[in-house]
Structure 1
Amino acid sequence: MSTSTLTTDIPTPAPIPPSPNTPKPVSWKLKGTLTIVAVLLVAVAVFAWYRLRLPVQPDNQAEISLGTPDVWIHSQNLALLPHDLLQIPILKSVLTEDFLYFYQQDVDWLSLQGAIRRLSFEHDLNWSDNLLKNIAAAPADVYLWRDGTHALRYWALSIERDPLLTVAQQLAQMKLVADRQITEVGRIKVDGDEIPLLKIALSSQRSLVLAAHGKRLVLFSDSAMVSRDAGELDTNAEAFVQTLLAKDAKARGKLINDSQAPELSTTHAQTVWMSNRFFAQGYGAFMPDIQALRFDYDNGRWTSQANTRKIHVDSRIWAQIPAYAAWCASTSIDWTQVEAALKSAKAPVDQMLESKALESLAPTGAVCWYTEAGDDVSKPLFIGLRTEKSTLKTEDLTALFNWGVSTNRDYYQPIREIQAKKRQLAAQLQAVNDEIKALKKSPDRSEMQDLGKEERAAREQERSDQLAAKKVEKEDLKKQQDDAREALIAAKQKLDPEIKAAEALTTQQQGGFTTIKRTLEILPTQSTNPMLAFNNQVLYFSPSSPLVERAMKVADQRYPNVQEASKGLIDPKAVTLLYVNPAKVATLMTETGHDALPQKSLPRLRAAFDYHMPSRMSALAQQAPFAVTLKNASVSTGNDTTAWQPMIWHSAP
C-alpha cells in the first residue's frame, strides 16, 4: 500500500499485500493533487448542512488576519510549481499546457511587469526586463487568504534571491516625490535598517505593496492588506513584513499562528498546506477532526497527509448509502456546534434543544451526488447515523423539517405588496411629522427683526399655511395606513386556505421508515419537494424526494449500497473520507454547466464552456473510480492534540 509521511516522528505503516479482490492503491504520482479538487467539492457538501465561520481578528481594510493564512505554499523554485503540478497525469490531461501559461498572461502580472519596466527607465535603475522572471526562479513562500466569497483573493509573496540585494538598495534610495504610480506608504526597520514600503498602482482600483531588504522581497496583492481605513500602515502588517524580511529563518518559520502549520524550513521541492478554514469553506463544525491538509512534491512524486484529531467517522455509514454515486464524502459532525447554531438562529425546536437530542446522534455524516434521472448538483443526498441511545423523536424532526424547509411562498406576493406599501407610508408619515415639528418652532428673532411689518406678516402666514397643509397630509397618510391594515387582514383571510395547504406536512410510514415532506411541492414548476426519512439506524435528507426513496430501498436490500458496488474499494475497516467515480463526476459537471450557463442569456460563457470543457471532461471520465482513506483513525490522544497521518489513495482495477 502506497503511503507516506511528512514528519519523522510518525512511522510509515508497513505495506499490506493486496488480496485478489482488493483494488490496488494509487501513488500520488497518479492521483495526488486530486485532493485539491476533492476538498473543494467536500466544501460544497458541507454548505447544505450548516454555515459556521471560524473567527478572525482583522485589523486592516482587507479584513483578513495576516497571522492565519488559509493556504501556504513553500517552494524551492516557485517558477516550477505549475510544471510540477502537471507531473500528475490526470491534471495534465484535464488542465493541458494552458495551465503553464495562464499566469504569464494574467492582467496583474503584466501590469506589474509594466510598472517595473517604467520604474527602471524613469529612475535610471537599469533593471532587466526579465527581473521578475529571474526572481521567481528561487525559493519562495506564498500566503493566501480568503475574501468574503471564500475565494483566495489576497496573497503575499516572500522570496529570497541574490539579485534582490541590488534591488533593495536602489529602492531604499529612490526619490518618489513626483511619481504618480509609485508612492511610499510607510517605513519599517528590519535588522537595524530603515526600508520603504512602496505602493504600486496597477489601476484606479488595484495596487500592490512591495518591500525589499537584503536578498529578500515581499509583495502584497492589495494595499488594503497592510493599511487601515485612514490609509495608515497597520501595526500588525508592519510586524508581519518585518518577519518576512528578517534574516532569521526560524522566526519566519513561526509566522503562521496555526499549530498545524509545518515550519517553513521544509526541504521538499514543493509543499502546499491548506487550513480547515479554506477546504471546509467556513463550515468547520462538520469537519472538526481534520484541521489541515498537506501535499509535498519530491522527485516526480506527490505525497499527502491530513492533520487530524481522533476521527469519529463510523465506517458502517457506507453500507447505508445507495450505489452508483458520482461523489461521496464522509465526515465527523460536532452536533453541539449545530445546536449552538440553531439557538442563534432562534429555530423553533425548543424541545429538541432542551433534551439535547441532537447529541444522541452518531458523530458521523455523509453527502453524495448522483447522475441518475432527475439528479443534479443542487440535489445531493445527506446521510446521518442514529445510535441505539438516540432520543431524537418524530416531533423533533418534524419541527426541524418544518422550520428548515420553506415553500416558495408565491402565494405571499399580494401580502408582500401591501407590507411594502405600509413601510412606505410609515416613512412618509415620519417625514411629515419631522416637517410639522420644524414648522412649529418659533422663527429666529434676529432674522425677523430685519424684516418689515408686512413681510413678517407674510412670513407668518406662509408658515401657518404650510403647517395646515402638512397636518392635512398627515391625516391623509394615517387614513392610508388604516386602509393598508384592513387590506392586509383581508388578504391574509383570503389566502389562509392556500397558505395552510402550502405549509402542510405529510408524515407517512413507508416500510420501516418514517417520511416527512410538504403536502404540496415547494416548487411546482420544477417538481421539487425535499424529503426526510428515518428509522432506528439512519436518517436521509435530500431536496429530491426520489433520491430519498432510492436510499430507503438500500435498507430493504432492494437496491445495492455503495460499499457493495465499489467491489472492495471502500474498506469497512478503514476510515474512508472520499469515494469518487470520475466518469460520473464528468457527467455531473457537464450537465451542471449546461444548466448554469443558458445559451440565450449567457452566450459567451456558454460558448467558452462548450469549447473548453468537453475535452477536459472526456479526460476526467477516463480515470478509474478511487477512494481516499486514513489508515489510523485514533493516532492522537486528546481533544486538543493533532497529528499528521498519511492519506491513502485506492484505485479500482
Structure 2
Amino acid sequence: MSVISASFFRKKSVLVSAAVVIILAGGVATLAMMKSTSHKEPIMTKWVPHNNLQVDVTRPDVLIESRSLSQLPSDILTLPFLKNTLTEDFVFYYQNNADRLGIAGSLQRIIFEHQLTLKDSLINELLDQPAQIALWRDGKGKLNHFIMVIHRGGLAKMLEPLAHVVVDDSQLSKASPETIRIGDRELPLYKLRYNGQKTLLFASEGDNIVLLSSDDFLFNAQQQAADTTALVNDLLHERRPWDESFAMAQDTDSPPQQRIMLRSSYLAMGYQRFIPAFAGLRLDKNPQGWRSYLELNDRDGSEEASLDFTPVWQAMPSGAGLCVALPLSRRMPAFMLRQSGATPEMAQQIGEQFSGTAGLCWYPQSRLYTPLLVAQLTQTPDASWDDAAATLFSRFIGQPALPIDTVNHDDVHLWQREIRSRYAPYPASQSRHQDAPDQGRFFRASLAHYQQTVMFSLDDALVENATRTLKKNFPPMSDILPAGQKTALYLSPAKLADIFKQETYSSLPQEMEPIFYNAAQTLLYPRLTALAKEPAYAVALEKNCEFGSAPHWITLQWLPL
C-alpha cells in the first residue's frame, strides 16, 4: 500500500477526537454500573517516575523480540488480513523511513570522512542480528521512546574504530554522562546526532550493544536514573529484564522467529482499568505461521471479572463489523462514580447487580464513534435501581442539559436525551424540543434495560435493535458464532471495510478536500476492497481458561465463519 502523508488523516483525527469526547461523556453512566456486592476497592498502584521521560523502564508498552529485525516488516505481511491487504510498499516504507535513513547517512559520512574500515552496510548488518526492542508511548500516545539491545559476534572489534573519531566529529560524540557503570566497570557512552536534533545513545560490551532513543532515560531531574542503569547492565549481560513484566519468566521454549508483545494498557487506549483481567497480547511467528496469545491477569488482579460472554452475544444484534466481549472490573466503576460525586449508597445500588461482563459492537449503518454497549445484570432490577440509573443518566449525559425522555413499556425501561453536535446524525428539524435555546444537529443518547440486560449508545437505533433482539424479534450475534466456544472477538472484514470507507469519505468532502479525497480513492479504496474479500472470524479463548494465582498466557483460536 502506498504511504499517505500524515496530513491526510488530520481532518479525520479531528472528527474522531471530538467523537471520543462524546463517547466518554455518554459511556461513564453505563460503564459506572459494573460493581458487585463486594465492597473491595480497585487495585490502584501509584507509580513514581524514575526518569525524565516518566516511563517505567521495567514495563514497556510493546516488546519485540526478533532473530532479524530487518525481516520483521515482511513477516508482518504474512499475518491474516494483512497479507492480501497490504503490499510491498509497506515493507519499503518501514525499511526506508526517515530515522533509519538518517542514521545510516550519518554513519556513512563518518566512515567516509574519517576513512574508517567499517562497511557502509553497518546498519543493515546490525538489524540482521538477534535483537530486542522495547517501546514506550510519549505524551501523544506514539511509540517514540525505545531501548534496543542487539547481539552480534565480533561486535566489539567491529565498533572499535568509532571510538577514535568522537573527539573531532560533529555528529558522533561522548554522551553526558560520558560513562555508564556496568558492574564494577565504567563503559563509555556515545551519542549520535542525526536528522537535525534527534539523538541516539549507545554503549557496548562484548557482543552486545544497547541503544537508547533519548538521554532522558538516564536522568531523573539532575540525578542519574538507577533503574535505567540497572536495566542496561542486565541487557549487556544477556539477562532478560522484561520477561517478568510480560509473564514470560518461566518460558523455556526456544524463541520464535518474531515475537511481538503488547501491554493491555497500550491496546485499551486509556480504558485498561476497566478490563484488568486482560493483561496483554502476544504474537509469535514460527515456520508454521503466526500464533496469538492473550495474557490473563491473576485472580485478585482481575477484580472479580467474568469470562462467561454468552449473555453478551445473545443480546447483541447481528450485522456488526466488529464486536468485542470484555470481562469488566466489578470494583472500578463504582469507585469512579464516587469520585464523580455520586453517593456511596447510589454507587453501590447501581453496581451491585452487574455481573462483570460487557460487550461493544460497531455497525456499518452507524458510525465509528457510536458503538453499542451491552452489559449484564445478575437479576432484573427493581424500581429503586431504575430511579438511581435515571438520576445518574440525567447527571452525566448531555451538556447543556435538555429534558430526559423516559419510556417504560413492555418491560423496556428507556431514557433518552438529545446531545448537540455537528457530527450527529439527526438534523435540528427532528428534535423533540424545538423550543430549546441551542438548535443544531444532535445525537439521541439512549440508556435502556430489558430484564437483566443494560444497553447504551449515542445511536438510539442500535439500542432499539438490541431490545428487539432480546425480545426475539431480531437475530442475535450468537446465531452466527460457533457454539460452545468462549468467543471474545468477532470481526467481519467486509463490514469493517464499509465502516472505514464511510469514516474516510465523511471526513474528506470532495468539494472541500479534492486532493486528499482523490488520494483516498487511489490508494486507500483498493486496500479496503481487498480487505472486504477476507472471511469473517471469531476469536475464542481456550474453553477451560480461568483466572489463576498468577498471570499466564492462553492461546487464542481464530475460527473462520
TM-score, length-normalised on structure 2? 0.82
Return closer, same or farther for 1:581/1:176 CA change in 2, 3 Å cut-off.
same
1:140 aligns with 2:131: yes
Contact 2:246 2:280 in 1 (8 A): no
Q: How does 1:287-436 map to 2 (within 5 A)?
A: 287-309=275-297, 311-346=306-341, 348=342, 350-353=344-347, 355-372=348-365, 375-388=366-379, 393-407=385-399, 409=400
Choose from 59, 83, 99 the match for 2:90.
Answer: 99
| Greater per-residue strand proportion | 2
Structure 1 residue 162 and structure 2 residue 61: aligned? no
Letter in 2 for 1:528: F
Amino acid at match of 1:597: L
Please show how residues 455-534 of structure 1 align to structure 2 within 5 Å.
502-518=401-417, 524=428, 525-534=440-449
Q: Tell me, what secondary structure is at the counterpart of 1:92?
A: coil
Q: Tell me, in whole angstroms, the C-alpha distance in 2 between the residues paired with 1:102 and 1:260.
A: 33
CA 1:211–1:610 in structure 2 vs 1: closer, same or farther (change >3 Å)? farther
When the two chains are superposed, the root-mean-square deviation of aligned CA atoms in Å is 2.8
CA shift for structure 1 position 380: 0.6
| Deviations 1:254-282, CA, capped at 9 Å, x for gaps | 34551524578742111111212222223
Could you tell me how far apart the structure 1 residues matched to 2:517 and 2:142 are?
22
Return the structure number with greater helix share: 1
- Which range moved further: 154-163 or 120-129? 120-129
Correspondence 1:85-124 to 2 at 5 A: 85-88=76-79, 90-124=81-115
Q: 1:609 aligns with which of 509, 513, 520?
A: 520
Relative to structure 1, the CA distance from residue 68 to residue 532 in structure 2 (aligned partners, 3 Å threshold; closer, same or farther) is: same
Amino acid at match of 1:358: G
The structure with the largest alpha-carbon Rg is 1
* 2:473 is the counterpart of 1:558: yes
Q: Quick one: which of 534, 538, 542 aligns to 1:627?
A: 538
For the Cα contact (< 8 Å) 1:260–1:642, is it kept in 2? yes
Match of 1:650 in 2: 559
Give 1:96 shift.
0.7
| 8 A Cα contact 1:142 1:156, kept in partner | yes
What amino acid maps onto 2:353 in structure 1? S
Q: Which residue of 2 aligns with 1:274?
A: 262
| TM-superposed deviation, 1:302 | 1.0
In the other structure, the counterpart of 1:418 is: none
Asked whether the equivalents of residues 168 and 214 of structure 1 are also in contact (C-alpha less than 8 Å), the reply is no
Change (3 A) 1:54 1:111: farther
Whether contact under 8 Å (2:493, 2:532) holds in the other structure is yes
Pick from 193, 196, 204 the counterpart of residue 201 of structure 1: 193
1 CA distance for matches of 2:377 and 2:345? 18
Deviations 1:516-552 (A, max 9, x none): 0126867643341101111221011100112111211
Amino acid at match of 1:352: M
Q: CA deviation at 1:648?
A: 0.9
CA distance in 2, matches of 1:529, 1:327: 22
What secondary structure is seen at the aligned counterpart in 1 of 2:398?
coil
Checking the alignment, whether the CA contact within 8 Å between 1:70 and 1:145 is kept in structure 2 is yes
1:189-239 CA-partner distances (Å, limit 9, x unpaired): 336543222222224542221222221111222333333444x64332222
TM-score, structure 1 as length reference = 0.71
Task: Work out the CA distance in 1 between the residues paired with 2:410 and 2:153.
Answer: 73
In structure 1, the gaps of 5 or more residues are 1-40, 410-501
Give 2:88's aligned amino acid: E
TM-aligned CA deviation for residue 179 of structure 1: 3.3
Distance in 2 of aligned mates of 1:56 and 1:49: 27
**Are the structure 2 counterparts of residues 604 and 141 from structure 1 closer, same or farther at C-alpha, using a change threshold of 3 Å?**
farther
The partner residue of 1:260 within 247, 260, 265 is 247
Q: Give me the whole-angstrom Cα distance separating, in 2, the residues matched to 1:610 and 1:197.
A: 49
Distance 2:165 2:233 in 1: 20
Work out the CA distance in 2 between the residues paired with 1:153 and 1:180. Answer: 21
Quick one: which amino acid aligns to residue 557 of structure 2?
A: I
In the TM superposition, what is the alpha-carbon distance from 1:385 to its structure 2 partner?
0.7
State the identity %.
25
**Shift of the alpha carbon at 1:330?**
0.3
- Give the CA deviation at 1:145: 0.9
